[in-house]
Amino acid sequence: MTDAPLLVLQGVDVVYKHVVRAVRGIALEVKRGQVVAILGANGAGKTTTLRAISGFIGLDHARVTAGTIVFKGEHLENRLPHQITRLGISITPERDKVFPNLTVSENMSVAPSRLTNAERKRTTDMVFQFFPALAARRNSEAGLLSGGERQMLGIGAKLVCGPELLLVDELSLGLAPLITQELIARLMQIKDELGLSLLLVEQNAAVALQMADYAYVFENGEIALEGDRAMMRGNRHIQELYLGGGAGGRRNYRDARAAREVRGQHGRA
Protein backbone atom coordinates (compact mmCIF):
# COMPACT_ATOMS: atom_id res chain seq x y z
CA MET A 1 0.00 0.00 0.00
CA THR A 2 1.49 3.34 -1.04
CA ASP A 3 0.89 6.62 0.72
CA ALA A 4 0.45 8.63 -2.51
CA PRO A 5 -3.04 10.15 -2.56
CA LEU A 6 -5.50 8.27 -4.73
CA LEU A 7 -7.64 11.35 -5.36
CA VAL A 8 -6.55 14.99 -5.24
CA LEU A 9 -8.76 18.04 -5.77
CA GLN A 10 -7.07 21.42 -6.08
CA GLY A 11 -8.79 24.79 -6.39
CA VAL A 12 -12.00 23.30 -7.77
CA ASP A 13 -14.87 25.62 -8.75
CA VAL A 14 -18.19 24.23 -10.03
CA VAL A 15 -20.72 26.45 -11.79
CA TYR A 16 -24.31 25.42 -12.61
CA LYS A 17 -25.83 26.71 -15.85
CA HIS A 18 -23.03 29.29 -16.31
CA VAL A 19 -24.44 31.23 -13.34
CA VAL A 20 -24.58 29.57 -9.91
CA ARG A 21 -21.15 29.01 -8.37
CA ALA A 22 -21.86 26.11 -6.02
CA VAL A 23 -18.33 25.42 -4.77
CA ARG A 24 -15.16 27.52 -4.85
CA GLY A 25 -11.52 26.60 -4.40
CA ILE A 26 -12.13 23.11 -3.04
CA ALA A 27 -8.90 21.27 -2.14
CA LEU A 28 -9.10 17.81 -0.70
CA GLU A 29 -7.49 14.40 -0.93
CA VAL A 30 -8.21 10.76 -0.28
CA LYS A 31 -5.36 8.34 0.31
CA ARG A 32 -5.49 4.64 -0.48
CA GLY A 33 -7.49 2.72 2.10
CA GLN A 34 -8.62 5.93 3.80
CA VAL A 35 -12.14 6.92 4.81
CA VAL A 36 -12.68 10.65 4.29
CA ALA A 37 -15.84 12.55 5.22
CA ILE A 38 -17.35 15.78 3.95
CA LEU A 39 -19.60 17.51 6.49
CA GLY A 40 -21.76 20.58 6.15
CA ALA A 41 -25.23 22.09 6.10
CA ASN A 42 -27.86 21.99 3.36
CA GLY A 43 -26.59 23.66 0.21
CA ALA A 44 -22.94 23.71 1.34
CA GLY A 45 -21.82 22.00 -1.87
CA LYS A 46 -21.24 18.42 -0.66
CA THR A 47 -23.27 16.67 -3.35
CA THR A 48 -21.91 18.99 -6.03
CA THR A 49 -18.38 17.95 -5.08
CA LEU A 50 -19.15 14.22 -5.24
CA ARG A 51 -20.94 14.68 -8.57
CA ALA A 52 -18.03 16.69 -9.95
CA ILE A 53 -15.66 13.83 -9.07
CA SER A 54 -17.96 11.17 -10.57
CA GLY A 55 -18.81 13.19 -13.69
CA PHE A 56 -22.54 13.47 -13.02
CA ILE A 57 -22.63 17.28 -12.75
CA GLY A 58 -22.79 17.30 -16.55
CA LEU A 59 -26.36 15.98 -16.29
CA ASP A 60 -27.27 19.08 -14.25
CA HIS A 61 -25.69 21.49 -16.75
CA ALA A 62 -22.82 22.17 -14.41
CA ARG A 63 -19.09 22.31 -15.14
CA VAL A 64 -15.79 22.39 -13.34
CA THR A 65 -14.64 25.89 -14.35
CA ALA A 66 -11.39 26.00 -12.38
CA GLY A 67 -8.96 23.68 -10.65
CA THR A 68 -8.07 20.03 -11.09
CA ILE A 69 -9.46 16.65 -10.04
CA VAL A 70 -6.80 13.95 -10.36
CA PHE A 71 -7.35 10.25 -9.68
CA LYS A 72 -4.34 7.90 -9.94
CA GLY A 73 -2.63 10.52 -12.07
CA GLU A 74 -5.58 10.96 -14.50
CA HIS A 75 -7.46 14.25 -14.85
CA LEU A 76 -11.20 13.81 -14.33
CA GLU A 77 -12.50 17.37 -14.83
CA ASN A 78 -15.66 17.35 -16.95
CA ARG A 79 -15.22 13.77 -18.09
CA LEU A 80 -18.22 11.50 -18.60
CA PRO A 81 -19.52 9.28 -15.80
CA HIS A 82 -18.84 5.97 -17.60
CA GLN A 83 -15.21 7.01 -18.24
CA ILE A 84 -14.77 7.76 -14.55
CA THR A 85 -16.41 4.47 -13.52
CA ARG A 86 -13.96 2.67 -15.78
CA LEU A 87 -11.05 4.35 -13.99
CA GLY A 88 -12.31 3.00 -10.64
CA ILE A 89 -14.70 5.49 -9.01
CA SER A 90 -18.36 4.71 -8.29
CA ILE A 91 -21.00 6.75 -6.50
CA THR A 92 -24.02 5.80 -4.41
CA PRO A 93 -26.12 8.91 -4.90
CA GLU A 94 -28.30 10.80 -2.43
CA ARG A 95 -31.47 10.00 -4.40
CA ASP A 96 -32.44 7.43 -7.04
CA LYS A 97 -30.03 4.82 -5.72
CA VAL A 98 -31.89 1.88 -7.22
CA PHE A 99 -34.09 1.06 -10.19
CA PRO A 100 -37.42 0.52 -8.39
CA ASN A 101 -39.01 -1.62 -11.11
CA LEU A 102 -36.10 -4.06 -11.33
CA THR A 103 -35.51 -6.84 -8.83
CA VAL A 104 -32.66 -6.76 -6.34
CA SER A 105 -30.66 -9.21 -8.49
CA GLU A 106 -31.33 -7.23 -11.64
CA ASN A 107 -30.15 -4.06 -9.90
CA MET A 108 -26.95 -5.87 -8.99
CA SER A 109 -26.20 -6.80 -12.58
CA VAL A 110 -27.32 -3.78 -14.60
CA ALA A 111 -24.45 -1.31 -14.09
CA PRO A 112 -21.36 -1.46 -16.32
CA SER A 113 -18.45 -3.04 -14.48
CA ARG A 114 -14.64 -3.15 -14.65
CA LEU A 115 -14.71 -6.70 -13.27
CA THR A 116 -14.51 -10.00 -15.12
CA ASN A 117 -17.62 -12.18 -14.94
CA ALA A 118 -15.99 -14.37 -12.29
CA GLU A 119 -14.96 -11.37 -10.15
CA ARG A 120 -18.40 -9.92 -10.56
CA LYS A 121 -20.03 -13.09 -9.34
CA ARG A 122 -17.65 -13.22 -6.36
CA THR A 123 -18.47 -9.62 -5.44
CA THR A 124 -22.21 -10.23 -5.81
CA ASP A 125 -21.95 -13.26 -3.50
CA MET A 126 -19.95 -11.17 -1.03
CA VAL A 127 -22.58 -8.40 -1.04
CA PHE A 128 -25.34 -10.94 -0.36
CA GLN A 129 -23.24 -12.46 2.41
CA PHE A 130 -22.67 -9.09 4.11
CA PHE A 131 -26.29 -8.02 3.60
CA PRO A 132 -28.41 -11.14 4.22
CA ALA A 133 -31.58 -9.00 4.14
CA LEU A 134 -30.85 -8.32 0.47
CA ALA A 135 -30.14 -11.96 -0.28
CA ALA A 136 -33.52 -12.89 1.17
CA ARG A 137 -35.20 -10.42 -1.16
CA ARG A 138 -33.15 -10.96 -4.29
CA ASN A 139 -36.24 -11.59 -6.43
CA SER A 140 -38.27 -8.69 -5.00
CA GLU A 141 -38.67 -5.42 -6.83
CA ALA A 142 -36.28 -2.83 -5.41
CA GLY A 143 -39.16 -0.35 -5.07
CA LEU A 144 -40.59 -2.55 -2.30
CA LEU A 145 -37.46 -2.46 -0.12
CA SER A 146 -37.18 -0.57 3.17
CA GLY A 147 -34.96 2.52 3.32
CA GLY A 148 -32.12 0.55 4.90
CA GLU A 149 -32.34 -2.27 2.34
CA ARG A 150 -32.41 0.29 -0.45
CA GLN A 151 -29.22 1.85 0.88
CA MET A 152 -27.60 -1.62 1.05
CA LEU A 153 -28.60 -2.26 -2.54
CA GLY A 154 -27.42 1.20 -3.62
CA ILE A 155 -23.99 0.37 -2.17
CA GLY A 156 -23.94 -3.28 -3.31
CA ALA A 157 -24.86 -2.46 -6.90
CA LYS A 158 -21.88 -0.06 -7.06
CA LEU A 159 -19.43 -2.49 -5.48
CA VAL A 160 -20.15 -4.80 -8.39
CA CYS A 161 -18.73 -2.10 -10.69
CA GLY A 162 -15.34 -2.80 -9.09
CA PRO A 163 -14.43 0.63 -7.69
CA GLU A 164 -11.21 1.46 -5.87
CA LEU A 165 -12.88 4.58 -4.50
CA LEU A 166 -16.54 4.56 -3.50
CA LEU A 167 -18.37 7.86 -3.01
CA VAL A 168 -21.41 7.63 -0.72
CA ASP A 169 -23.81 10.58 -0.49
CA GLU A 170 -25.71 10.65 2.84
CA LEU A 171 -25.37 7.09 4.11
CA SER A 172 -27.52 7.72 7.19
CA LEU A 173 -30.21 9.98 5.71
CA GLY A 174 -33.69 8.92 6.82
CA LEU A 175 -32.49 5.72 8.51
CA ALA A 176 -33.13 4.63 12.09
CA PRO A 177 -29.99 4.74 14.30
CA LEU A 178 -29.84 0.95 14.64
CA ILE A 179 -29.98 0.44 10.87
CA THR A 180 -27.33 3.12 10.41
CA GLN A 181 -25.01 1.35 12.87
CA GLU A 182 -25.51 -1.96 11.05
CA LEU A 183 -24.73 -0.33 7.70
CA ILE A 184 -21.60 1.34 9.05
CA ALA A 185 -20.30 -1.95 10.46
CA ARG A 186 -20.91 -3.83 7.21
CA LEU A 187 -19.51 -1.10 5.00
CA MET A 188 -16.31 -0.93 7.06
CA GLN A 189 -15.92 -4.73 6.80
CA ILE A 190 -16.47 -4.60 3.04
CA LYS A 191 -13.96 -1.76 2.75
CA ASP A 192 -11.32 -3.86 4.51
CA GLU A 193 -12.15 -6.98 2.52
CA LEU A 194 -11.90 -5.19 -0.84
CA GLY A 195 -9.18 -2.68 0.11
CA LEU A 196 -11.51 0.18 -0.83
CA SER A 197 -11.19 3.89 -0.12
CA LEU A 198 -14.33 5.80 0.84
CA LEU A 199 -15.37 9.43 0.44
CA LEU A 200 -18.55 10.01 2.44
CA VAL A 201 -20.90 12.96 2.54
CA GLU A 202 -22.79 13.23 5.83
CA GLN A 203 -24.95 15.74 7.66
CA ASN A 204 -24.71 13.56 10.72
CA ALA A 205 -21.25 14.37 12.02
CA ALA A 206 -21.33 11.67 14.66
CA VAL A 207 -21.75 9.06 11.93
CA ALA A 208 -19.03 10.57 9.75
CA LEU A 209 -16.52 10.79 12.56
CA GLN A 210 -17.26 7.23 13.64
CA MET A 211 -16.03 6.08 10.23
CA ALA A 212 -13.66 8.71 8.92
CA ASP A 213 -9.89 9.04 9.29
CA TYR A 214 -10.11 12.62 8.05
CA ALA A 215 -12.90 15.16 7.55
CA TYR A 216 -13.56 18.38 5.67
CA VAL A 217 -16.25 20.80 6.81
CA PHE A 218 -17.95 22.71 4.00
CA GLU A 219 -19.65 26.06 4.50
CA ASN A 220 -21.26 27.98 1.66
CA GLY A 221 -19.31 26.16 -1.02
CA GLU A 222 -15.91 26.46 0.63
CA ILE A 223 -13.87 24.38 3.04
CA ALA A 224 -14.13 26.03 6.44
CA LEU A 225 -12.21 23.47 8.47
CA GLU A 226 -10.41 20.16 8.08
CA GLY A 227 -8.56 17.67 10.21
CA ASP A 228 -8.08 14.11 11.38
CA ARG A 229 -10.35 12.35 13.83
CA ALA A 230 -8.44 13.48 16.90
CA MET A 231 -8.52 17.10 15.75
CA MET A 232 -12.24 16.92 15.00
CA ARG A 233 -13.04 15.37 18.35
CA GLY A 234 -10.83 17.82 20.21
CA ASN A 235 -11.98 20.96 18.41
CA ARG A 236 -14.44 22.96 20.52
CA HIS A 237 -16.11 24.53 17.51
CA ILE A 238 -16.78 21.09 16.01
CA GLN A 239 -17.85 19.70 19.36
CA GLU A 240 -20.42 22.39 19.81
CA LEU A 241 -21.52 22.86 16.25
CA TYR A 242 -21.47 19.34 14.89
CA LEU A 243 -21.39 16.79 17.64
CA GLY A 244 -24.13 18.06 19.90
CA GLY A 245 -21.64 18.99 22.60
CA GLY A 246 -24.22 21.35 24.11
CA ALA A 247 -27.44 20.35 25.81
CA GLY A 248 -30.04 18.51 23.77
CA GLY A 249 -27.79 16.03 21.96
CA ARG A 250 -28.09 17.70 18.57
CA ARG A 251 -26.96 15.34 15.89
CA ASN A 252 -26.82 17.38 12.74
CA TYR A 253 -25.26 20.55 11.58
CA ARG A 254 -28.49 22.37 10.85
CA ASP A 255 -29.91 21.88 14.36
CA ALA A 256 -26.61 22.85 15.93
CA ARG A 257 -26.26 25.96 13.83
CA ALA A 258 -29.84 27.03 14.51
CA ALA A 259 -29.18 26.60 18.22
CA ARG A 260 -26.05 28.72 17.98
CA GLU A 261 -27.92 31.46 16.12
CA VAL A 262 -30.68 31.51 18.71
CA ARG A 263 -28.07 31.82 21.46
CA GLY A 264 -26.47 34.62 19.45
CA GLN A 265 -29.77 36.50 19.31
CA HIS A 266 -30.07 36.23 23.05
CA GLY A 267 -26.60 37.68 23.45
CA ARG A 268 -25.08 34.57 24.95
CA ALA A 269 -23.03 33.32 22.02
Ligand X SMILES: Nc1ncnc2c1ncn2[C@@H]1O[C@H](COP(=O)(O)OP(=O)(O)OP(=O)(O)O)[C@@H](O)[C@H]1O
CB of 185 to ligand X, least distance (A): 24
Does residue 20 touch ligand X according to CB under 6 A? yes
Residue 226 interacts with, from ligand X, Mg ion, none (CB under 5-8 Å by kind): none
Binding-site string for ligand X from residue 191 to residue 230, where x marks contact by CB under 6 A and - marks none? ------------x---------------------------
> Under the criterion CB under 6 A, does residue 48 sit at the interface with ligand X?
yes
CB nearer Mg ion, residue 47 or residue 151: 47
Closest distance between Mg ion and the C-beta of residue 48, in Å?
8
Instruction: Provide the minimum distance between the beta carbon of 45 and Mg ion in the complex, in angstroms, as a whole number.
Output: 8
- Among the listed ranges 14-22, 223-231, 242-250, 258-266, the one in contact with ligand X (CB under 6 A) is 14-22
Q: Which residue stretch of 15-23, 107-115, 137-145, 223-231 sits at the interface with ligand X (rule: CB under 6 A)?
A: 15-23
Choosing from 3, 18, 42, 95, the residue that interacts with ligand X (CB under 6 A) is 42
> Could you say whether residue 44 binds ligand X (CB under 6 A)?
yes
**Binding test (CB under 6 A) with ligand X, winner from 13, 29, 60, 141:** 60
Task: Figure out which of the listed residues 34, 36, 38, 47 binds Mg ion, where binding follows CB under 5 A.
Answer: 47
The answer to whether residue 34 forms part of the interface with Mg ion (CB under 5 A) is: no
Classify 227 in phi/psi space as left (phi over 0), alpha (psi -120 to 50) or beta.
left
What is the SS3 assignment for the chain?
Answer: CCCCEEEEEEEEEEEECCCEEEEEEEEEEEECCCEEEEEECCCCCHHHHHHHHHCHHHHHCEEEEEEEEEECCEECCCCCHHHHHHHCEEEECCCCCCCCCCEHHHHHHHCCCCCCHHHHHHHHHHHHHHCHHHHHCCCCEHHHCCHHHHHHHHHHHHHCCCCCEEEEECCCCCCCHHHHHHHHHHHHHHHHHHCCEEEEEECEHHHHHHHCCEEEEEECCEEEEEEEHHHHHHCHHHHHHHCCCCCCCCCEHHHHHHHHHHHHHCCCC
**Residue 49 binds Mg ion, judged by CB under 5 A:** no
Enumerate binding residues for ligand X (CB under 6 A): 16-17, 20, 22, 40, 42-48, 60, 94, 203
